[in-house]
Amino acid sequence: MFVSDGSGAFSVPMQPPVAPPAQFYPGFQGVDHLQARVASMTVAQCSVPGQQKCAIPECPRPSYMEKNGKVHKCCGRTHARELEKRQSQQKPQTQQGVAAPTATGQLPGQLHGQKPGQTPVPGQVPRQAPVPGQAPPGQASSGPQTVPTLPSGLRKCAIQECQNPCFVDPAGTVHECCGITHAMEHQRRKAIEQQKQVIKGVTHCLLPECNQIVWPFKNYCGRTHADIGHKRGLEPPAPPPADPSVPKDSSLCIIPGCSSKKYSDPSGVTHPYCGKTHAELGKKMNILPTADKQEDQCELPGCKAPRRKEGGRVHEYCCQSHAQQDAPNRAGKCV
């Protein structure tokens, strides 16, 4: 019920205090005092009626007692969980004693490789019993193995231990590997092999007394050695001669030994190299594209590269840099 004080406001009357339970021992001062006393005593010192020892054998404390006088098996929540865990690990046995083993020599419910009475480790994946005629996981079979056959027109992944075919994109381009994971691994292995091959001016500094790796897209390891090399007149090595018996595919990169296709930018221009790395490498090793006909060559004197083609338009130079270099001569021609 609500009680009004005459001003129009109502208030909820307070509930009368609950009478404390019957006294458990002489000098009882309340439930909180009882719990504090029980927590600080052992079973031998405890004089509370109905109190018993914790169910965990190695625990000397008495069992927990609630405010209403209910006595639990253990002294607290932690030991109660430990007791449940121990009880769940105890396997029930049959009335005859131990259950008879199966044909494989294992007891019912026993995992493969588990000893009798051994408890499984939580979170551990149990081993499966071996299947007759089948090799265990992680071991190669001694019998003949069948290698998967690749579809016609596809080659195997560049990773030697991979038997999958190479990836073919929607445009029809056949890549070197089966996916991006093996492509990254293939590039990593090629980089390691390139570091093993010491080519002065290409992989390592052009200065003879230096063995440092070259700076990206340069012939030297740094500016200091580059200045020394320029003063000495050092030149990068000549490109290796191409094998005349092997026909060169016009759609592949012009770097010898490269099997990647030439790069085509979004504007439709096909470059002579597969990427920026081989483009800079070709400039350092003087591996430059050449036009088949003289009228198709760049107009910069001394350059035999083919003119740049962009869509249906053919430019006068092979690149923008050569167009800027020949700008004074072109202005004189126009006058």
147, 135 Cβ separation under 8 angstroms = no
Please check the confidence at residue 63 and state whether its pLDDT lies above 50: yes
Please check the confidence at residue 71 and state whether its pLDDT lies above 50: yes
User: In the predicted model, what is the mean pLDDT of the chain?
Assistant: 70
pLDDT tens digits, one per residue of 269-305: 778 888 887 787 777 777 777 777 778 888 888 887 8
**Residue 171 — φ and ψ, nearest 5°?**
-80, -5
Please check the confidence at residue 233 and state whether its pLDDT lies above 80: yes
pLDDT tens digits, one per residue of 236-266: 766 555 555 555 567 788 877 677 788 887 7
Give the residue-averaged pLDDT of 37-66.
69
Range from 90-94, 95-99, 293-297 carrying the lowest mean pLDDT: 95-99
pLDDT tens digits, one per residue of 110-154: 555 555 555 555 555 555 555 555 555 545 445 444 445 555 557
Please check the confidence at residue 231 and state whether its pLDDT lies above 80: yes
pTM assigned to the model: 0.29
Confidence of residue 335 (pLDDT cuts 50, 70, 90): very low
Range from 93-102, 152-161, 263-272, 317-326 carrying the lowest mean pLDDT: 93-102
Residue 185: the pLDDT is: 87
Residue 147: the pLDDT is: 47
Q: How big is the chain, counted in residues?
A: 335
Q: Which residues partner with 112 through β-bridges?
A: 127
Beta-carbon contacts of residue 71 (< 8 Å; ≥ 6 apart): 50, 51, 52, 63, 64, 65
Higher pLDDT, 8 or 54: 54
34, 28 Cβ separation under 8 angstroms = yes
Radius of gyration of the chain (CA): 43
Give the residue-averaged pLDDT of 173-187.
88
Residue 124: the pLDDT is: 54
Residue 118: the pLDDT is: 57
Residue 33: the pLDDT is: 64
Residue 273: the pLDDT is: 84
Please check the confidence at residue 217 and state whether its pLDDT lies above 80: no
Share of the chain above pLDDT 70, in %: 56
Give the residue-averaged pLDDT of 63-80.
83
Higher pLDDT, 59 or 130: 59
State how far the alpha carbon of 168 is from the alpha carbons of 53, 155, 162, in Å. 74, 11, 16
Q: CA triplet 40, 46, 52: central angle to 5 degrees?
A: 105
